Amino acid sequence: MTRHQPSADVPELSAAGTALLERLERRTARAGVVGLGYVGLPLAVEFGRAGLRVTGIDVDQRKVDAIQAGQSYIPDVATADVQTLRESGQLDATSDFAVVRELDTINICVPTPLRKTKDPDMSFVVAAAERITQHLHPGMLVVLESTTYPGTTAELLRPMLETTGLRVGSDVFLAFSPERVDPANTTYNTRNTPKVVGGMTPACVRIATALYAHAVDTIVPVSSTQVAEMVKLLENTFRAVNIGLVNELALMCDRMGIDVWEVVDAARTKPFGFMPFYPGPGLGGHCIPIDPFYLSWKAKEAGFEARFIELAGHINGSMPHYVADKVADALNTHRKAVNGSSILVLGIAYKKNIDDIRESPALDVMHVLHARGARIVYADPHAPTLRAEDWPGRLDLTSVALNAAELARHDCIVILTDHREFDYDLVVEAGPLIVDTRNALGAHAGAHVFRLGAPSEGRMRTGREAAA
């Protein structure tokens, strides 16, 4: 279903566009997806399910080999689905971009991280576009899905494609459609999450819509690629700002002796005008911590200072230090210092029930505690190993088994990611001292539990004893 059209007029197509549209409508077009990660692989699978023959392209040979062997490495994609598509000939994978010559459409789903200077790193997009351009041919659709700043498709990709002499809008077609993947979401997936599509020309929108209509239930065309690019930044900046608000409220409640979790749960009973957000140890993942910086960077380029957005970023960025201070406060009640203490971290993924550690605030908390002299150990059933190069602590670590003996041998347990696999009753029973940053244990777990943004029974008891 298409939600709306930016114009009532049906765009006139060139001969190349007409031929491509016919192949898409007959499902004889060959689709390609560059980048077989959390975004690209689910998209490729949906295209395959819809009857298109799909080729995934990735420079990581391990991913290519897994797909060719019928194996999924993404929790949201079942291995059985990959096997079925491989057996039917609907899905294959390669690291050779020469296959672009045989494709009719190609979606770019590569990372767009930030540089250390907090400005956009477009190197993965540029590298993919350069390789595609080498094999670009008339009658081809290119769609960028990677999160980026407004203007990327028009200012970066279009000139690259047109160096071939092919014209966007008549010879080849170019669009932007922001990915909206939410890993581990059991309700919304690639197919039932509405797809925003913006094209360089009306013809580009029409052709991109025809592609996605096979794999996505609802298409939302917009008037330009810039609008589509801004849509994704708004969605995640909205979340980042509201998380910043509730994180600041958590700091405030901590000072005032109020339970922020109870406050939010009570406020969410209002059936209108309020959406609940919850505090935590910081922002994580491949979008929410990054997208506001893309927007802020582009705003500065236009001479506008995004003060509200940057303030939220400052608050969210300070949360790992607040959690480390919370750990120090908890250890003080046992007359211990962070320096020299053994701290067991529960969960290093950026959100519960997934294995993705990109931009995880847990790694920042671990780094702060490690820098203060703590010995860090972690348990995470989704992340069995942590390489030195993947976190600022620069140590190779291995997840430990969570049992009573392991819990008892550490000075403090810190819950940073509330995976469902953890036995929280065992944690409360065997852990000598616990800092809960996700409210995984609730308000009445005991005096040895310190919760983020809430008064601590243990700290209040120590204060009363000191006063006596």
Strands (E) across 339-463 are located at 342-346, 375-379, 385-386, 397-398, 412-415, 434-436, 449-451
Comparing CA positions, the residue from 280, 348, 268 lying closest to residue 315 is 280
Greatest Cα pair distance in the chain: 88
Three-state secondary structure call for residue 285:
coil
State the DSSP H helix or E strand holding residue 369, giving kind and residue range, or none if neither. Answer: helix 361-371
35 neighbors 51 (Cβ within 8 angstroms): no
Q: How far apart are CA 139 and CA 120, in angstroms?
A: 31
Q: How far apart are CA 258 and CA 396, in angstroms?
A: 39
- Phi, psi values for residue 97, rounded to 5°: -70, -10
Burial of 238-256, coded b for 16+ CB within 10 Å and e otherwise, reads: ebbbebbbbbbbbbebbee
Which residue among the candidates 204, 253, 287, 412 is catalytic per the annotation? 287
208 neighbors 216 (Cβ within 8 angstroms): no
State the DSSP H helix or E strand holding residue 329, giving kind and residue range, or none if neither. Answer: helix 307-332
Answer yes or no: 109 catalytic.
no
Tokens 């993919």 locate to 128
Three-state secondary structure call for residue 331:
helix
Three-state secondary structure call for residue 81:
helix
- Phi, psi values for residue 449, rounded to 5°: -110, 125
Q: How far apart are CA 260 and CA 454, in angstroms?
A: 6
Three-state secondary structure call for residue 244:
helix
Take residue 36 and report the two structure tokens written for it. 């077989």
The conformation of residue 271, written as its DSSP 8-state character, comes to S
The conformation of residue 190, written as its DSSP 8-state character, comes to T
Strands of the sheet with 434-436, listed across from one edge: 375-379, 342-346, 412-415, 434-436, 449-451
Q: Which residues are part of the catalytic machinery?
A: 287
